[in-house]
Chains A and B, each alone.
Chain A
Amino acid sequence: MLNCHDATFLMSQSRDRKLSFSERMKVKLHTSMCRGCLNFDRQLPVLSDAVQVYTAKADNGDM
């Protein structure tokens, strides 16, 4: 069973490489029991969207 550090490490890597089947199953098992990590996983795409918006709009007067 993964701890939260290792579970979030795999979730983070899933944004950068394809996880193996067993890695995906370990993450799924962990998030089925851990609300904090489930929230983390859902928030990763928000970070990506936010930094895209930030780069396109920072300091701009026309927001």
Chain B
Amino acid sequence: MDFSDADPGFLSRTRVEMLRFARLQLGNDDEAEDAVQEALAGASKNAANFRGEAALKTWIIAILKNKVADILRQRKRRPINASQMTSPDQEGALPPVFDQRGMWRDAARPARWEDPEADLHSAQFLAVFDACLNRLPPQQGRVFMMREVVELDTSEICAELGLSTTNVHIILHRARLGLRACLQLHWFQEGA
């Protein structure tokens, strides 16, 4: 390994985050450890080319995402075991944003967000985002991350989790509704 110029504190913090991400996606500690180890080994070869911790970290996380995606794609070839079969509550609840006719409840109707991209990098916004993501039912959070961060396509998520395409679409819809509602309540509405 050659992270000779990197601050040890930075490396250990990054490692903790990488493990958390890999465990959430893979659901297996050993595989998560291996993925993180391989990602760090791969990243170390080019570490010297990155000026600044932010750039280095972005690079390391990108490598980890690829490792995790590779592992998940390889798993597809294994038969799905019984514990992965769909159970009725696997989707997590629909957030209570619609009335009986399927129309927005007044309090939940999406309002316009003023210049949303301006806030994305602020520590305060990311803390709110973290809380909102953690408030989702676990399966919704996991599938949302698989889709948006690991960038697996729907069929790959279906194969990994033993879900139907419809299940995955329902889970993603609910995750997005829940996350959006939470951000509106705890971030975008605050300053309005």
Chain A positions within 8 Å of B, measured between CB atoms, are 3-6, 8-9, 12-13, 15-17, 35-37, 39-40, 42-44, 46-63
Contacts and interface: CB of A to CB of B under 8 A. Distances in A.
* B130, B148, B179: residue with the most chain A Cβ atoms closer than 10 Å: B148
Contacts of A63: 121-123, 126
20 contacts: A4-B98, A8-B173, A8-B177, A9-B170, A16-B153, A16-B168, A35-B109, A39-B113, A40-B110, A42-B113, A43-B110, A44-B176, A47-B176, A50-B120, A50-B183, A55-B149, A57-B121, A58-B130, A61-B13, A63-B122
Contacts, number: 118
B172 interface: yes
* A4, A35, A46: residue with the most chain B Cβ atoms closer than 10 Å: A4
Nearest to B120: A53
A34 to B, nearest CB: 8
Interface residues of B, number: 50
A3 B102 contact: yes
A57 B148 CA distance: 15
Given A51-B133, A52-B148, A63-B122, A46 B13 contact: no
A36 B104 contact: yes
Given A49-B117, A55-B149, A57-B54, 17 more contacts: A3-B102, A6-B102, A36-B109, A40-B180, A43-B113, A43-B180, A47-B176, A48-B148, A53-B120, A53-B126, A57-B57, A57-B126, A58-B130, A60-B13, A61-B13, A62-B53, A63-B121
Interface in B162-184: 168-170, 172-173, 176-177, 179-180, 183
Contact of A54 (B129, B154, B173): B129
Interface in B46-92: 52-54, 57-58, 61
B153 A56 contact: no
B116 A51 contact: no
A18 B134 CA distance: 29
B99 to A, nearest CB: 9
Contact of B145 (A12, A37, A51): A51
B112 A39 contact: yes
Contacts of A15: 147, 172
